[in-house]
Amino acid sequence: MKKVFVSGCYDILHAGHLQFFEEARALGDYLIVSFASAEVLWHHKRRKPSIPDEHKQVLLQGLRMIDEVIITHGHKEGLDFEEDFLRIKPDFLIVTEDDKYGDVKREICAKVGAKYTLLPKTPPKFDPVSTSSIVRWVQAPTEAPLRVDFAGGWLDVPRFSKPGAFIVNCAVSPLVSLREWPFEKQAGLGGSGAWALLNGRDGVDSEIDMGVGWQDPAVIRETGLCVWRSGETPVLDFKQNGDFLDGRMAIFWTGKPHDTPGIANMPRDYNRIAEAAVVARAGAMNADIETLGRGVNLQYATQLAEGMDSLPEIPGAIAQKYCGGGHGGYALYLFTDPEARNAAIAATEQLRAIEPICRV
C-alpha cells in the first residue's frame, strides 16, 4: 500500500484544497493529511485558526479522499510534521509547485526513502480563492457608500500628483450593495471602489492599475468629508462628519456614462485643479458651504476648459461640477439650504438628493 503524505494549514477549506487532495490521493492508495496545530499556527504566523483543531480534524476526516488526519505540533519552520513523518514513513510527500521549503523537505524524505513530489498546477475547477480572500469576503460590509469629489480630482493619480496639493471628497448615501445599486453605472461616483469593498478587496491597487487614482476606495473605506494629500498613496489630511452638508447636496444624471481610464491622459490644468482644492479644503475645514462651493466652481471651470459640456443652471444652486472624470456621468450641485435643494429636486426630474455619511 502506497502512503501519500501532505501538510498545510487548511484553515478555511475551499474547493482548491479538495482538488489538491484528490490529485494527491490519485498518486497512491492511502492519503494522510497533516495540519499545523493552533499552537504552531500562532508560533509561526501570529494568528489563531478559524475553528478549533478538533473541529478541523473532523471536517478533514469526513472528506472521502482522505484516509487519515494528523494534528502536528513541531515548531521547526516548514517541518511541523517532522516527528509524525519519520514515524509513519510514507512513500510520497506531495507539495505544490510553490513550496517554499523544498530543501528541508527533500532531506526528510531521504531519511525514510519517500519521494518528494511536486504536484503540477492544473487548471482549477472553480475560480481560485485563498484563505485570506475568504476572510476578507466574510469581513466585507454588506453595504457601502459611494462618493462625490469636490476638488482636486486627478491629483490622486500617482503620475499626476503634486507635492503639497489636496483632494477633497465625501462619502455619500444612499448606500449600495451587491444586490441593490440605486444609481446609474459608470457614473463618476466611485462605484468601482465601492464594488471592491463589498467584495472584500481594498481597491486602491486595482484603481491605480487601471491608470486612475485612489480617492474612490480611500474615501469609501474611510467615510466622512475628507481632505487627502496628493501623492502615490492615500494620506488623510483632515476629516469631519460633514453634517453641515445635510440637505445641501444633489446629483444630476447627465444622460450618458463616462470612462475615467479612457480620459485620464487628456490635457488639463493641474495647477488650477490644485488651486480649487485649496479653496475647497478651507470650506471643508471650516464647515463653510459657501467657501466649499467656490472650490467646486473653480474645479468646474477646469472641467469646462478641458472641453466638457456646460451643465444646466439649476435655480438655487450655488455650485456645480461633473463628478469624477466628467464628460458624462453624474454632476454635483450644492445648495445653501435644504429648502432650496428640495425645490430644485421637485422641479428637475434628473436631480436627486444625496447625503454625507460618516462612520467612526
Across 139-158, average pLDDT: 94
SS3 content of the chain, % helix, strand, coil (to 5): 35, 20, 40
Residue 154 in this model has a pLDDT that exceeds 80 = yes
321-347: pLDDT as tens digits: 999 999 999 999 999 999 999 999 999
One-letter amino acid identity for 19? Q
pLDDT tens digits, 55-65: 999 999 999 99
Helices (H) and strands (E) in the chain, counts: 13, 13
DSSP letter for each residue of 132-150: HHHHHHHHS-S-EEEEEEE
pLDDT surpassing 70 at residue 210: no
* pLDDT level of residue 297 (50, 70, 90 thresholds): very high
Q: What is the pTM of this model?
A: 0.74
Of 132, 26, 5, nearest to 79 by C-alpha is: 5
Q: Please, what are the domains in the chain?
A: 3-136 (3.40.50.620), 140-356 (3.30.230.120)
30 Cβ partners below 8 Å, 6+ apart?
Answer: 1, 2, 3, 4, 67, 68
* CB contact at 8 A, 301 and 322: no
Average pLDDT over residues 49-78: 95
Name which of 125-129, 182-186, 214-218, 283-287 the model is least confident about. Answer: 125-129
Query: What is the average pLDDT across 150-165?
Result: 96
Residues 245, 241: Cα–Cα separation, whole Å: 9
> 4, 116 in Cβ contact below 8 A?
no
Q: Quick one: cell of 40?
A: 504552531
CB 109, CB 117: distance < 8 Å: no
Please tell me the predicted confidence (pLDDT) of residue 30: 98
pLDDT tens for each residue of 95-118: 998 899 999 999 999 999 999 999
* Mean pLDDT, the chain, integer: 93
Distance CA 350, CA 253 (A): 5
DSSP 8-state assignment for residue 158: G
Cβ pair 226, 288 in contact under 8 A: no
The residue type of 150 is: F
- Cβ distance 191 to 177 under 8 Å? no
Q: Which of 64-68, 212-216, 343-347 has the lowest mean pLDDT?
A: 212-216
pLDDT value, residue 228: 98
Whether the per-residue pLDDT at 291 is higher than 80: the answer is yes
